Structure 1
């Protein structure tokens, strides 16, 4: 079921997003499949996934795809500032029907603000470098959400090939902290193993424990386990309902623990996400 829907004002409820499926805008077959794949957001990529010689074709294809109805919000990732395609992408996306724009390798709030102002659409900023992590708090104030670009981040930190998440755990937590302080959504990075469903599920569950709202995906077969990982469990929902029903205000005893308003707010968020996932 799709949970990422347009609000009454036409904007996208990013806090309802669990899965963000990235695919090359230069691949018409992948675009066609993505329409029915069931991801909460689909990102047509003009950047890393597209060869230099295919950039113009991919840009045209992304704009054309956005003109037809999609069952989920459609997003376009532009090429980064400083690239020869950046201004062309901005002009094209500004005139398109895409719902959201992704800015790669964000390193400053100023850069992100400029993109948002030019395209007139919500912006998701990818934090993919050491500089981006250190500026994440400011960047989050200028956008609608942050995405951890874990592959580029590993490379920028000069980690060994195949490095686990442990060396970037502090960076991931800083991204979540920045997003929460700014009141915007936060999304975990991609899992590279295409034939490792258990590994993907474990990483997605770890992302939820870190506080991410959802996760970036590189293949449709990752959508279902992603939704499972970011959905409240039956026991979480049952406990959340019990807390809300038992609370009368202030600090009070519930079973063998003390509960306060903060616990009820967390319980209410669980119930909201559970209700959206059941549609």
Structure 2
């Protein structure tokens, strides 16, 4: 199945060590959850968090939400044990932090046969190798780790994210070239709704599939920003209808709202309607 055939508007991080948060996530209107065993879990809690998360995922209850487990890196003492414990408990994907080489993905793939792989893109070397990583046969998604990336670059945080734009665009290009999911980084000021909305709209304008989130209060804004609007859905329907009428008349183009509509616009229009239908199905479950 095409990994982009389902919505990834909102992708919420949940600490694997927090039982209440794991339970609450079952009720949140998110498209996907990243169950985090890495940054969100203290060193002394990592083995217990691993066991708790394994039991939680075995028990189920997350419905149609896409379940991603972020394990610790294989350069730590916990990474391989994380994968061994979580590879067969119902996770939809395993997310590896700080991916820089295809060899890292090979190692993860060998440790988790049959499980789709995702990669955190959060280091300069990883960004420079984005296309090679996206082309890996087991990889199905990129997650932008913008906090770590900004730290590595030594750049300043700006509302327009200009210092990160090259990295964001390079990963997005690689993802689209290979047809994998690309999810934007987090917005740290979780109480700043206007700032979050602006950054979500920027990410959507760039072409990202959705946004990673750090707090449930951010979910509604992300869901709205990365879903087709009613105007976009209406335009898509009218473009398709007009183009079909033009084809019946032996013409290769149509005109809608004073603009030329060609086959390439119809491809986009059909994708818009398919995404809207997938969101409606997900929200109806």
TM-score under structure 2 length normalisation: 0.89
**Residues 72-98 of structure 1, C-alpha deviation per residue, up to 9 Å, x if partnerless?**
232210001211111111211223221
Structure 2 distance, partners of 1:123, 1:111, is 11
Matched, 1:173 2:169: yes
Structure 2 distance, partners of 1:159, 1:251, is 48
2:27 is matched with 36
Mean alpha-carbon deviation: is it higher for 250-259 or for 142-151?
Answer: 250-259
Deviation at 1:185, TM superposition (A): 0.9
Structure 2 distance, partners of 1:278, 1:76, is 25
CA contact (8 A) 1:63 1:98 kept: no
Correspondence list, 1:90-129, <5 A: 90-120=83-113, 121-129=115-123
SS at match of 1:80: coil
Matched, 1:183 2:179: yes
Structure 2 distance, partners of 1:157, 1:251, is 48
Matched, 1:267 2:263: no
Deviation at 1:228, TM superposition (A): 0.3
**Residues 240-267 of structure 1, C-alpha deviation per residue, up to 9 Å, x if partnerless?**
0011111145741314333222111111
Supply the RMSD in Å over aligned alpha carbons: 1.7
1:133 is matched with 127
Residues 266, 12 of structure 1: CA spacing in aligned structure 2 closer, same or farther, 3 A cutoff?
A: closer
Matched, 1:89 2:103: no
1:4 is matched with none
* Structure 1 outlier segments of 4+, above 6 Å: none
Determine which of 30, 37, 40 is the counterpart of 1:49: 40
Determine which of 26, 30, 33 is the counterpart of 2:17: 26
Deviation at 1:163, TM superposition (A): 4.1
Count of residue pairs brought into register by the alignment: 269
1:252 is matched with 253
Structure 2 distance, partners of 1:140, 1:219, is 28
Correspondence list, 1:58-97, <5 A: 58-69=49-60, 70-71=62-63, 72-97=65-90
Unaligned runs of 5+ in 1: 1-6
